[in-house]
Amino acid sequence: MEGMETLPRTAWEPITPRGVATFARASVGRLWIVQSVVAVLVAGAIVWLLFDGGCSTVEKAIRNLPVTGEIRSGRLNWPEEPPRLLAEGRFLAFSVDLERAGDIRSPAHLQVEFGRDGLLFRSLFGYYDVRYPAGWVLAMNRTELEAWWGAWMPWLLVLAALGVIAGLMLMWMLLATLYAGPVWLMAFYANRNLDLMGSWKLCGAAMLPGAVLMAGAILFYDLAVLDLVMLMVVMGGHLLVGWVYLPVSLWFLPTDPETAAHRKNPFAPSPAE
């Protein structure tokens, strides 16, 4: 198998096992730059999904709110009693059902239902009930929420992007630290030239192909190419891609002649014998 002598001098792409192997000799700064680019790519896909699949539904729901209404002392003060669908999209839906009669069921992947005492989240995976905060006063009317949403919506998307980037960078660092020792042992027994720090960088780079796959799956979900179940499968299993890349990338590293010379079979006779 080709060694690192035939690899590019500069690590720049973490998509192929050969490209991942080059990061074992790259600087930590180079790894962080490439990780940041991939994290921005994933964050961009998630923010686009929130904007395209969620923000328009939220705006429509706000426009369908009454002029008066609020959540005070843990209860929703709503001027209209009958259950009502506020807005519905493929990804998100909002409804009001004060008595939880269950008359409104949306085919959206996530339905947020406002009851008299709390929120009910319905999805393919079940439902979750959240009580309104007892000590808070929250607007539940078109007049106040239109102004609030118009001012804060861009900043909420920015905060979501920053949270995704920071979370991915932290997760990759922790996983690389967890995997570095076992991968270094694999490289030692495979007679590959890899120290512990190089193993850490290799592990950090091996996480990136799965992240690129996840970003693509999010975009395909927004385009209705993938359904929610397939999206969850890809997002839950994208770490498995790194497990495949790690052992394959090791074979693109150069062999270690000194290690091979010192690794002798204790049961084999010496030349003198």
User: Where are the domains positioned within the chain?
Assistant: 4-49+153-259, 67-140
41 beta partners: none
All residues at 6 or more sequence positions from 199 whose CB lies less than 8 Å from its CB, including other chains: 24, 179, 180, 181, 183, 184, 187
Phi-psi region of 134 (alpha: psi -120 to 50; beta: other; left: phi over 0): alpha
**Residue 125 corresponds to which tokens in the numbers above?**
């995976």
What would the 3-class secondary structure string for 88-147 be?
A: ECCCEEEEECCCCCCCCCCCCCEEEEECCCEEEEEECCEEEEEECCCCCEEECCHHHHHH
pLDDT tens string 86-119: 999 988 999 999 888 777 888 899 999 999 999 9
What is the distance between the alpha carbons of residues 8 and 95, in angstroms, rounded to a whole number? 56
User: Which residue do the tokens 């001098």 mark?
Assistant: 9
Positions in the chain short of pLDDT 50: 1-5, 259-268, 271, 273
**Residue 57 corresponds to which tokens in the numbers above?**
């539904």
pTM, two decimal places? 0.84
